[in-house]
Structure 1
Protein backbone atom coordinates (compact mmCIF):
# COMPACT_ATOMS: atom_id res chain seq x y z
CA UNK A 1 0.00 0.00 0.00
CA UNK A 2 1.42 3.36 -1.01
CA UNK A 3 1.95 5.95 1.71
CA UNK A 4 0.68 9.42 1.24
CA UNK A 5 3.52 11.98 1.02
CA UNK A 6 2.82 15.38 2.46
CA UNK A 7 4.76 18.19 0.82
CA UNK A 8 5.87 21.17 2.88
CA UNK A 9 4.15 24.35 1.86
CA UNK A 10 6.21 27.23 0.42
CA UNK A 11 5.34 29.30 3.49
CA UNK A 12 6.82 26.64 5.82
CA UNK A 13 10.02 26.47 3.76
CA UNK A 14 10.47 30.24 3.85
CA UNK A 15 9.77 30.29 7.58
CA UNK A 16 12.43 27.62 8.23
CA UNK A 17 14.98 29.45 6.06
CA UNK A 18 14.31 32.65 7.99
CA UNK A 19 14.81 30.84 11.31
CA UNK A 20 18.11 29.36 10.05
CA UNK A 21 19.35 32.80 8.96
CA UNK A 22 18.36 34.34 12.29
CA UNK A 23 20.19 31.54 14.12
CA UNK A 24 23.35 32.03 12.04
CA UNK A 25 23.15 35.79 12.59
CA UNK A 26 22.84 35.34 16.36
CA UNK A 27 25.89 33.03 16.38
CA UNK A 28 27.86 35.53 14.28
CA UNK A 29 26.94 38.39 16.60
CA UNK A 30 27.98 36.31 19.60
CA UNK A 31 31.31 35.50 17.96
CA UNK A 32 31.94 39.15 17.02
CA UNK A 33 31.14 40.28 20.57
CA UNK A 34 33.57 37.69 21.96
CA UNK A 35 36.39 38.71 19.61
CA UNK A 36 35.78 42.41 20.23
CA UNK A 37 36.01 41.86 23.98
CA UNK A 38 39.27 39.92 23.58
CA UNK A 39 40.82 42.66 21.40
CA UNK A 40 39.88 45.44 23.80
CA UNK A 41 40.76 43.61 27.04
CA UNK A 42 44.01 41.87 26.00
CA UNK A 43 46.90 43.26 28.15
CA UNK A 44 48.70 44.83 25.21
CA UNK A 45 48.35 47.96 23.10
CA UNK A 46 46.98 46.91 19.71
CA UNK A 47 46.69 49.48 16.94
CA UNK A 48 46.67 50.01 13.18
CA UNK A 49 49.27 52.44 11.86
CA UNK A 50 49.11 54.01 8.42
CA UNK A 51 52.60 54.68 7.00
CA UNK A 52 51.56 58.22 6.04
CA UNK A 53 48.99 59.14 8.69
CA UNK A 54 50.27 57.30 11.77
CA UNK A 55 47.83 55.61 14.16
CA UNK A 56 44.31 55.27 12.72
CA UNK A 57 42.76 52.74 15.15
CA UNK A 58 43.56 51.36 18.62
CA UNK A 59 42.06 49.09 21.27
CA UNK A 60 40.81 50.14 24.71
CA UNK A 61 44.01 48.99 26.41
CA UNK A 62 45.99 51.45 24.30
CA UNK A 63 43.62 54.26 25.28
CA UNK A 64 43.89 53.41 28.98
CA UNK A 65 47.66 52.90 28.96
CA UNK A 66 48.55 56.19 27.27
CA UNK A 67 45.54 58.36 28.11
CA UNK A 68 44.39 59.31 24.62
CA UNK A 69 41.09 58.07 23.20
CA UNK A 70 40.93 57.10 19.56
CA UNK A 71 38.88 60.24 18.97
CA UNK A 72 41.65 62.35 20.59
CA UNK A 73 44.29 60.71 18.43
CA UNK A 74 42.41 61.14 15.16
CA UNK A 75 41.75 64.77 16.03
CA UNK A 76 45.44 65.58 16.68
CA UNK A 77 46.72 63.30 13.93
CA UNK A 78 48.29 59.85 14.30
CA UNK A 79 51.85 61.04 13.61
CA UNK A 80 51.62 63.86 16.14
CA UNK A 81 50.28 61.35 18.67
CA UNK A 82 53.49 59.31 18.41
CA UNK A 83 55.53 62.46 19.05
CA UNK A 84 53.43 63.17 22.15
CA UNK A 85 53.70 59.76 23.83
CA UNK A 86 57.06 58.34 22.69
CA UNK A 87 60.24 59.46 24.49
CA UNK A 88 62.24 62.04 22.43
CA UNK A 89 65.28 59.74 22.40
CA UNK A 90 63.18 56.85 21.02
CA UNK A 91 61.41 58.69 18.20
CA UNK A 92 63.60 56.72 15.80
CA UNK A 93 61.59 53.55 16.55
CA UNK A 94 58.33 54.62 14.85
CA UNK A 95 60.36 56.42 12.17
CA UNK A 96 62.49 53.32 11.53
CA UNK A 97 59.40 51.13 11.28
CA UNK A 98 57.99 53.37 8.55
CA UNK A 99 61.31 53.32 6.68
CA UNK A 100 61.51 49.53 7.10
CA UNK A 101 58.09 48.93 5.52
CA UNK A 102 58.66 51.46 2.76
CA UNK A 103 61.45 49.10 1.67
CA UNK A 104 59.71 45.92 2.82
CA UNK A 105 61.53 42.66 2.06
CA UNK A 106 59.31 40.28 4.02
CA UNK A 107 61.03 40.59 7.41
CA UNK A 108 58.77 42.08 10.09
CA UNK A 109 59.86 44.88 12.45
CA UNK A 110 60.22 45.04 16.23
CA UNK A 111 61.75 47.39 18.77
CA UNK A 112 61.98 48.60 22.38
CA UNK A 113 60.98 52.15 23.32
CA UNK A 114 59.69 54.38 26.10
CA UNK A 115 56.24 55.98 26.16
CA UNK A 116 54.12 57.71 28.80
CA UNK A 117 50.52 58.41 29.76
CA UNK A 118 49.51 61.97 28.87
CA UNK A 119 48.83 62.81 32.54
CA UNK A 120 52.05 61.29 33.91
CA UNK A 121 55.70 62.35 33.87
CA UNK A 122 57.37 58.95 34.05
CA UNK A 123 58.01 56.93 30.90
CA UNK A 124 57.43 53.17 30.76
CA UNK A 125 59.29 50.62 28.68
CA UNK A 126 57.47 48.84 25.84
CA UNK A 127 58.48 46.11 23.43
CA UNK A 128 56.62 46.33 20.15
CA UNK A 129 56.10 44.25 17.03
CA UNK A 130 54.65 45.24 13.67
CA UNK A 131 53.24 43.22 10.80
CA UNK A 132 52.35 44.30 7.29
CA UNK A 133 48.54 44.55 7.39
CA UNK A 134 47.27 46.23 4.23
CA UNK A 135 48.86 46.96 0.85
CA UNK A 136 47.96 49.25 -2.04
CA UNK A 137 47.22 48.21 -5.63
CA UNK A 138 50.97 48.00 -6.38
CA UNK A 139 51.68 45.72 -3.43
CA UNK A 140 53.36 48.39 -1.32
CA UNK A 141 52.70 48.22 2.43
CA UNK A 142 50.08 50.80 3.42
CA UNK A 143 49.11 49.88 7.00
CA UNK A 144 50.74 48.01 9.89
CA UNK A 145 49.18 45.90 12.63
CA UNK A 146 51.15 46.74 15.79
CA UNK A 147 51.27 45.19 19.26
CA UNK A 148 53.12 46.88 22.16
CA UNK A 149 53.55 45.22 25.55
CA UNK A 150 54.38 47.20 28.69
CA UNK A 151 57.57 45.69 30.11
CA UNK A 152 57.94 48.04 33.09
CA UNK A 153 56.27 45.69 35.62
CA UNK A 154 58.74 42.97 34.57
CA UNK A 155 61.82 45.21 34.70
CA UNK A 156 62.72 44.39 38.28
CA UNK A 157 66.47 44.73 37.95
CA UNK A 158 68.92 46.99 36.19
CA UNK A 159 70.46 43.89 34.62
CA UNK A 160 67.18 43.07 32.85
CA UNK A 161 66.88 46.61 31.52
CA UNK A 162 70.46 46.64 30.22
CA UNK A 163 69.91 43.32 28.47
CA UNK A 164 66.70 44.59 26.87
CA UNK A 165 68.47 47.71 25.62
CA UNK A 166 71.33 45.62 24.27
CA UNK A 167 68.90 43.49 22.29
CA UNK A 168 67.18 46.61 20.98
CA UNK A 169 70.50 48.07 19.84
CA UNK A 170 71.43 44.77 18.19
CA UNK A 171 68.14 44.77 16.27
CA UNK A 172 68.67 48.38 15.19
CA UNK A 173 72.17 47.55 13.94
CA UNK A 174 70.83 44.62 11.92
CA UNK A 175 68.38 46.98 10.23
CA UNK A 176 71.28 49.31 9.40
CA UNK A 177 73.18 46.45 7.77
CA UNK A 178 70.18 45.78 5.53
CA UNK A 179 70.92 49.14 3.89
CA UNK A 180 74.28 47.82 2.62
CA UNK A 181 74.59 46.49 -0.90
CA UNK A 182 75.91 43.00 -1.65
CA UNK A 183 79.38 44.28 -2.61
CA UNK A 184 79.54 46.48 0.48
CA UNK A 185 78.71 43.52 2.72
CA UNK A 186 81.38 41.49 0.96
CA UNK A 187 84.00 44.18 1.57
CA UNK A 188 82.89 44.70 5.17
CA UNK A 189 83.27 40.98 5.86
CA UNK A 190 86.85 41.11 4.55
CA UNK A 191 87.59 44.20 6.65
CA UNK A 192 86.44 42.28 9.72
CA UNK A 193 88.92 39.54 8.82
CA UNK A 194 91.74 42.10 9.03
CA UNK A 195 92.38 42.53 5.32
CA UNK A 196 93.83 45.83 4.09
CA UNK A 197 92.34 47.92 1.31
CA UNK A 198 95.01 46.67 -1.12
CA UNK A 199 94.43 43.02 -0.20
CA UNK A 200 90.68 43.43 -0.63
CA UNK A 201 91.21 45.10 -4.01
CA UNK A 202 93.45 42.24 -5.16
CA UNK A 203 91.07 39.54 -3.89
CA UNK A 204 87.98 41.06 -5.52
CA UNK A 205 89.80 42.31 -8.65
CA UNK A 206 88.85 45.92 -7.92
CA UNK A 207 90.83 49.16 -7.98
CA UNK A 208 92.09 50.73 -4.75
CA UNK A 209 89.87 53.74 -5.47
CA UNK A 210 86.75 51.54 -5.77
CA UNK A 211 87.43 49.72 -2.49
CA UNK A 212 88.21 53.02 -0.72
CA UNK A 213 84.91 54.48 -1.98
CA UNK A 214 83.00 51.41 -0.77
CA UNK A 215 84.65 51.66 2.67
CA UNK A 216 83.70 55.31 2.94
CA UNK A 217 80.09 54.57 1.96
CA UNK A 218 79.89 51.70 4.45
CA UNK A 219 81.06 53.89 7.33
CA UNK A 220 78.64 56.63 6.33
CA UNK A 221 75.66 54.25 6.25
CA UNK A 222 76.57 52.63 9.59
CA UNK A 223 77.51 55.89 11.31
CA UNK A 224 81.04 54.85 12.30
CA UNK A 225 84.13 57.06 12.11
CA UNK A 226 86.94 54.50 12.38
CA UNK A 227 87.73 50.88 11.53
CA UNK A 228 87.65 49.68 15.14
CA UNK A 229 84.04 50.86 15.62
CA UNK A 230 83.11 49.48 12.21
CA UNK A 231 84.50 46.02 13.01
CA UNK A 232 82.96 46.01 16.50
CA UNK A 233 79.54 46.89 15.07
CA UNK A 234 79.84 44.24 12.37
CA UNK A 235 80.84 41.52 14.80
CA UNK A 236 77.82 42.31 17.01
CA UNK A 237 75.58 41.35 14.10
CA UNK A 238 77.49 38.17 13.28
CA UNK A 239 79.86 39.31 10.49
CA UNK A 240 83.57 38.66 10.40
Structure 2
Protein backbone atom coordinates (compact mmCIF):
# COMPACT_ATOMS: atom_id res chain seq x y z
CA UNK A 1 0.00 0.00 0.00
CA UNK A 2 2.87 2.40 0.66
CA UNK A 3 4.01 1.93 -2.92
CA UNK A 4 0.49 2.63 -4.19
CA UNK A 5 0.42 5.92 -2.31
CA UNK A 6 3.87 6.92 -3.55
CA UNK A 7 2.92 6.16 -7.15
CA UNK A 8 -0.46 7.89 -6.83
CA UNK A 9 0.11 11.16 -4.98
CA UNK A 10 -3.48 12.27 -5.66
CA UNK A 11 -4.93 9.55 -3.43
CA UNK A 12 -4.49 11.41 -0.15
CA UNK A 13 -5.72 14.68 -1.65
CA UNK A 14 -8.74 12.97 -3.23
CA UNK A 15 -9.71 11.43 0.10
CA UNK A 16 -9.40 14.80 1.82
CA UNK A 17 -11.55 16.51 -0.80
CA UNK A 18 -14.18 13.80 -0.39
CA UNK A 19 -13.83 14.06 3.41
CA UNK A 20 -13.16 10.34 3.52
CA UNK A 21 -10.50 8.04 4.93
CA UNK A 22 -9.21 4.66 3.81
CA UNK A 23 -7.77 1.91 6.00
CA UNK A 24 -6.22 -1.54 5.61
CA UNK A 25 -7.43 -3.94 8.32
CA UNK A 26 -5.72 -7.22 9.23
CA UNK A 27 -8.59 -9.51 10.24
CA UNK A 28 -6.22 -11.99 11.85
CA UNK A 29 -5.00 -9.48 14.44
CA UNK A 30 -7.90 -6.99 14.17
CA UNK A 31 -5.38 -4.20 13.66
CA UNK A 32 -5.36 -1.22 11.30
CA UNK A 33 -2.15 -1.59 9.32
CA UNK A 34 -2.35 1.77 7.59
CA UNK A 35 -4.74 4.69 7.21
CA UNK A 36 -4.98 7.18 4.35
CA UNK A 37 -6.73 10.49 4.01
CA UNK A 38 -7.78 12.29 7.18
CA UNK A 39 -9.60 10.04 9.69
CA UNK A 40 -9.37 12.90 12.19
CA UNK A 41 -11.70 15.02 10.06
CA UNK A 42 -14.12 12.13 9.56
CA UNK A 43 -14.24 10.62 13.05
CA UNK A 44 -12.48 13.06 15.38
CA UNK A 45 -9.72 10.51 15.99
CA UNK A 46 -6.34 10.31 14.27
CA UNK A 47 -4.88 7.54 12.15
CA UNK A 48 -2.38 6.88 14.95
CA UNK A 49 -5.26 6.33 17.38
CA UNK A 50 -6.70 3.63 15.13
CA UNK A 51 -3.36 1.99 14.35
CA UNK A 52 -2.34 1.84 18.01
CA UNK A 53 -5.70 0.73 19.36
CA UNK A 54 -6.94 -1.51 16.56
CA UNK A 55 -10.56 -2.54 16.09
CA UNK A 56 -11.08 -2.57 19.86
CA UNK A 57 -10.36 1.19 19.86
CA UNK A 58 -12.98 1.67 17.15
CA UNK A 59 -15.54 -0.31 19.16
CA UNK A 60 -14.81 1.74 22.28
CA UNK A 61 -15.89 4.91 20.46
CA UNK A 62 -19.36 3.63 19.57
CA UNK A 63 -22.26 4.88 21.71
CA UNK A 64 -23.16 2.06 24.10
CA UNK A 65 -26.75 1.96 22.86
CA UNK A 66 -25.48 1.20 19.34
CA UNK A 67 -23.61 -1.99 20.33
CA UNK A 68 -26.54 -4.30 19.65
CA UNK A 69 -27.01 -2.93 16.14
CA UNK A 70 -23.33 -3.18 15.24
CA UNK A 71 -23.11 -6.72 16.63
CA UNK A 72 -26.14 -7.80 14.60
CA UNK A 73 -24.73 -6.29 11.39
CA UNK A 74 -21.39 -8.05 12.05
CA UNK A 75 -23.22 -11.35 12.51
CA UNK A 76 -25.18 -10.89 9.26
CA UNK A 77 -21.96 -10.01 7.43
CA UNK A 78 -20.16 -13.09 8.78
CA UNK A 79 -23.06 -15.31 7.70
CA UNK A 80 -22.96 -13.85 4.20
CA UNK A 81 -19.24 -14.00 3.41
CA UNK A 82 -18.72 -17.81 3.13
CA UNK A 83 -21.13 -18.15 0.18
CA UNK A 84 -20.28 -14.88 -1.54
CA UNK A 85 -18.07 -14.21 -4.54
CA UNK A 86 -15.31 -12.58 -2.50
CA UNK A 87 -13.63 -11.02 -5.53
CA UNK A 88 -16.70 -8.79 -5.98
CA UNK A 89 -17.74 -8.60 -2.32
CA UNK A 90 -18.72 -5.26 -0.81
CA UNK A 91 -20.38 -4.37 2.46
CA UNK A 92 -21.87 -1.02 3.40
CA UNK A 93 -23.04 -0.19 6.92
CA UNK A 94 -23.46 2.89 9.06
CA UNK A 95 -22.91 3.62 12.72
CA UNK A 96 -22.44 6.52 15.10
CA UNK A 97 -19.03 7.37 16.49
CA UNK A 98 -18.36 9.53 19.55
CA UNK A 99 -15.79 12.28 19.01
CA UNK A 100 -13.36 13.54 21.70
CA UNK A 101 -15.63 16.46 22.63
CA UNK A 102 -18.54 14.08 23.27
CA UNK A 103 -20.62 14.72 20.16
CA UNK A 104 -21.38 11.89 17.74
CA UNK A 105 -21.36 11.64 13.96
CA UNK A 106 -22.96 9.14 11.61
CA UNK A 107 -20.29 7.26 9.66
CA UNK A 108 -20.66 5.09 6.55
CA UNK A 109 -18.19 2.20 6.28
CA UNK A 110 -17.65 0.58 2.88
CA UNK A 111 -15.63 -2.66 2.95
CA UNK A 112 -14.09 -4.89 0.29
CA UNK A 113 -11.75 -7.87 0.41
CA UNK A 114 -8.11 -6.98 -0.23
CA UNK A 115 -6.47 -10.40 0.21
CA UNK A 116 -7.68 -13.94 0.82
CA UNK A 117 -6.05 -17.19 1.91
CA UNK A 118 -6.13 -20.45 -0.06
CA UNK A 119 -9.50 -21.36 1.48
CA UNK A 120 -11.10 -18.07 0.44
CA UNK A 121 -11.11 -16.54 3.91
CA UNK A 122 -10.57 -12.79 3.96
CA UNK A 123 -7.22 -11.87 5.50
CA UNK A 124 -7.08 -8.15 4.77
CA UNK A 125 -10.00 -5.81 4.42
CA UNK A 126 -10.05 -2.41 2.74
CA UNK A 127 -12.34 0.02 4.53
CA UNK A 128 -13.49 3.43 3.30
CA UNK A 129 -15.26 5.70 5.80
CA UNK A 130 -17.11 8.96 5.29
CA UNK A 131 -19.29 11.25 7.41
CA UNK A 132 -22.96 10.97 6.39
CA UNK A 133 -24.45 12.82 9.37
CA UNK A 134 -26.04 15.36 7.02
CA UNK A 135 -27.73 12.59 5.04
CA UNK A 136 -28.91 10.08 7.63
CA UNK A 137 -30.36 10.54 11.09
CA UNK A 138 -32.39 8.57 13.58
CA UNK A 139 -31.70 5.41 15.55
CA UNK A 140 -31.77 2.90 12.72
CA UNK A 141 -28.79 1.47 10.88
CA UNK A 142 -28.59 -0.12 7.47
CA UNK A 143 -26.45 -2.89 6.05
CA UNK A 144 -26.00 -3.63 2.36
CA UNK A 145 -24.21 -6.80 1.26
CA UNK A 146 -23.41 -7.49 -2.37
CA UNK A 147 -21.10 -9.67 -4.44
CA UNK A 148 -22.14 -8.28 -7.80
CA UNK A 149 -24.72 -11.02 -8.27
CA UNK A 150 -27.14 -10.26 -5.46
CA UNK A 151 -28.05 -7.46 -3.10
CA UNK A 152 -29.14 -7.90 0.50
CA UNK A 153 -30.32 -4.83 2.39
CA UNK A 154 -31.18 -4.85 6.09
CA UNK A 155 -32.63 -2.26 8.42
CA UNK A 156 -31.36 -2.69 11.98
CA UNK A 157 -32.56 -1.17 15.23
CA UNK A 158 -29.46 0.30 16.90
CA UNK A 159 -30.56 -0.38 20.48
CA UNK A 160 -32.22 -3.80 20.24
CA UNK A 161 -30.42 -5.37 17.29
CA UNK A 162 -33.79 -6.34 15.80
CA UNK A 163 -33.62 -6.32 12.03
CA UNK A 164 -35.64 -6.74 8.89
CA UNK A 165 -34.53 -7.66 5.40
CA UNK A 166 -35.85 -5.04 3.01
CA UNK A 167 -37.54 -5.88 -0.27
CA UNK A 168 -35.35 -4.94 -3.22
CA UNK A 169 -36.44 -2.31 -5.70
CA UNK A 170 -37.26 -3.39 -9.24
CA UNK A 171 -35.31 -2.19 -12.26
CA UNK A 172 -38.15 0.19 -13.14
CA UNK A 173 -38.23 1.57 -9.61
CA UNK A 174 -34.47 2.13 -9.65
CA UNK A 175 -34.83 3.91 -13.00
CA UNK A 176 -37.47 6.20 -11.53
CA UNK A 177 -35.40 6.77 -8.37
CA UNK A 178 -32.46 7.96 -10.48
CA UNK A 179 -34.71 10.45 -12.26
CA UNK A 180 -36.18 11.65 -8.96
CA UNK A 181 -32.60 12.18 -7.80
CA UNK A 182 -32.13 14.44 -10.83
CA UNK A 183 -35.08 16.51 -9.49
CA UNK A 184 -37.39 15.54 -12.35
CA UNK A 185 -41.08 15.72 -11.42
CA UNK A 186 -43.44 12.76 -11.62
CA UNK A 187 -45.00 14.34 -14.70
CA UNK A 188 -41.57 14.74 -16.32
CA UNK A 189 -40.62 11.16 -15.47
CA UNK A 190 -43.91 9.90 -16.91
CA UNK A 191 -43.23 11.66 -20.19
CA UNK A 192 -39.66 10.40 -20.32
CA UNK A 193 -40.58 6.77 -19.64
CA UNK A 194 -43.90 6.75 -21.53
CA UNK A 195 -45.88 6.05 -18.37
CA UNK A 196 -48.83 7.73 -16.73
CA UNK A 197 -48.18 10.11 -13.86
CA UNK A 198 -50.36 7.85 -11.69
CA UNK A 199 -48.09 4.88 -12.47
CA UNK A 200 -44.97 6.88 -11.56
CA UNK A 201 -46.53 7.99 -8.26
CA UNK A 202 -47.52 4.39 -7.53
CA UNK A 203 -43.89 3.32 -8.05
CA UNK A 204 -42.76 6.10 -5.71
CA UNK A 205 -45.09 4.90 -2.97
CA UNK A 206 -44.00 1.29 -3.50
CA UNK A 207 -40.34 2.30 -3.14
CA UNK A 208 -41.04 4.04 0.19
CA UNK A 209 -42.92 0.97 1.42
CA UNK A 210 -40.18 -1.45 0.39
CA UNK A 211 -37.40 0.61 1.97
CA UNK A 212 -39.55 1.45 5.00
CA UNK A 213 -38.95 5.19 4.60
CA UNK A 214 -41.21 8.20 5.02
CA UNK A 215 -40.30 10.51 2.14
CA UNK A 216 -38.50 10.56 -1.20
CA UNK A 217 -35.68 12.83 0.01
CA UNK A 218 -34.74 10.27 2.66
CA UNK A 219 -35.02 7.46 0.13
CA UNK A 220 -32.87 9.09 -2.56
CA UNK A 221 -30.20 10.04 0.01
CA UNK A 222 -30.10 6.42 1.19
CA UNK A 223 -29.98 4.89 -2.29
CA UNK A 224 -27.19 7.28 -3.35
CA UNK A 225 -25.16 6.90 -0.15
CA UNK A 226 -25.31 3.12 -0.31
CA UNK A 227 -24.45 3.17 -4.04
CA UNK A 228 -27.68 1.49 -5.07
CA UNK A 229 -28.30 4.15 -7.71
Normalising by structure 2, we get a TM-score of: 0.50
Which has the larger share of strand?
2
Which structure has the larger Rg over C-alpha atoms? 1
| Higher RCO structure, 1 or 2 (CA under 8 Å, sep 6+) | 2
